[in-house]
Amino acid sequence: MILLNAQWGESAGFSSGYKEYVAGMLAGVATVIVGHPFDTVKVKGLYCGATSSFVGMAFESSLAFGIYSQTKHFLQGNPESGKPQLLAILPSGAFAGGFISFILCPSELVKCRMQVQGADSILQSSSRYRSPVDCALKTVKSEGLTGLFRRAGATFFRESIGNAVFFSTYEYVRYYMHKPLRDASSDLTHVIDVGVGIVSGGLGGIACWSAVLPLDVAKTIIQTSTEKNHTRNPVKILELIYRRSGIRGCYTGLGPTIVRAFPANASAIVTWELAMKILGIKRD
């Protein structure tokens, strides 16, 4: 779930789109390197499922960055003021999130099942998954191809809402931090860019997960359930959780998620901006 620098110069039009996808892929790799150990705290297993996370996040991030950037550029063009345009940011982020959810769903299902397996020491060896590929094949064999898309609806809404919240927070924090700092210290441009990227990306990640964590709790339950008749309706699952544990139950794992969100998203933004500079895309 991630992340993009929005205010590019005149060279950031559709002609440079492929560079944004490449930079986004690198940002996704950085996100997994920094964030995966924190992410596994919710369902244990340390680096179990990391392979699928690298692959899934690389594609997810590449598409999220590229689609968001291109859609936003289409909707708002190059505003003279450089100020974020919420009516362009929200639909662009939601569209990017909704699109990547269909790619992310199978990858996350495999990751969650590998992680839960790693935490279950009494699971019979014959029932264990030997690798992410083995997990995917066994899922298809027992549940059909649609089994890989368990909780696709929950993922769609989580990613759409989450990306819209992330990009909006990121854009506005960056805008209001960057200008006064740049004006005050023009000789420290690179240091300022990194600092602003860390803060804006980190706060964007916290805002995103604060908004969508209940949906993530629901989708994890759906994906890891071994009962064939278990409901796949995230709303019903959240209702059950709320009745049993209240609002705290809907935010299970909030602490580790917030701790993960800041460094993971900050590293993604810093990597994204550095990659864009290396690839020759100039910002305002």
Does 71 reside within a domain? yes
d(CA 24, CA 26): 5
Most confident of 18-27, 251-260, 263-272: 263-272
Number of structural domains (the chain) is 1
Give the whole-angstrom CA distance, residue 157 versus residue 160.
5
Task: Answer whether residue 4 is part of any domain.
Answer: no
- In whole numbers, what is the pLDDT of the chain averaged over residues? 78
**Structure letter (DSSP) for residue 15:** G
Judge whether 8 lies within some domain: no
Q: Which residues pair with 8 in a beta bridge?
A: 283
Asked if pLDDT for residue 1 goes beyond 70, the answer is: no
Q: Is 42 left (phi over 0), alpha (psi -120 to 50) or beta?
A: alpha
Provide the CATH number for the domain around residue 265: 1.50.40.10
Specify if 2 maps to a domain.
Answer: no
pLDDT of 47 above 90: no
Confirm whether 86 is domain-assigned.
yes
> What is the span of the domain harbouring residue 67?
14-278
Q: Is residue 237 part of a domain?
A: yes
| CA-to-CA separations, 81 to 10, 175, 187, in angstroms, rounded | 14, 11, 23
Three-class SS state of 65? helix
Tell me the C-alpha distance between 189 and 178, whole Å.
10
Packing angle, helices 254-278 and 17-39, rounded to 10 = 150
d(CA 36, CA 56): 12
* Phi–psi pair at 47, nearest 5 degrees: -95, 15
Stronger pLDDT, 207 or 281, i.e. the higher one: 207
Is residue 283 situated within a structural domain? no
251 and 213 Cβ atoms separated by less than 8 Å: yes
Tell me the three state secondary structure of residue 8.
Answer: strand
| Each residue's pLDDT tens digit, 6-40 | 343 334 444 456 888 888 888 988 888 887 666 55
pLDDT given at position 59: 76
Give the pLDDT band of residue 122 (cuts 50, 70, 90): very low
Q: What is the pLDDT of residue 11?
A: 40
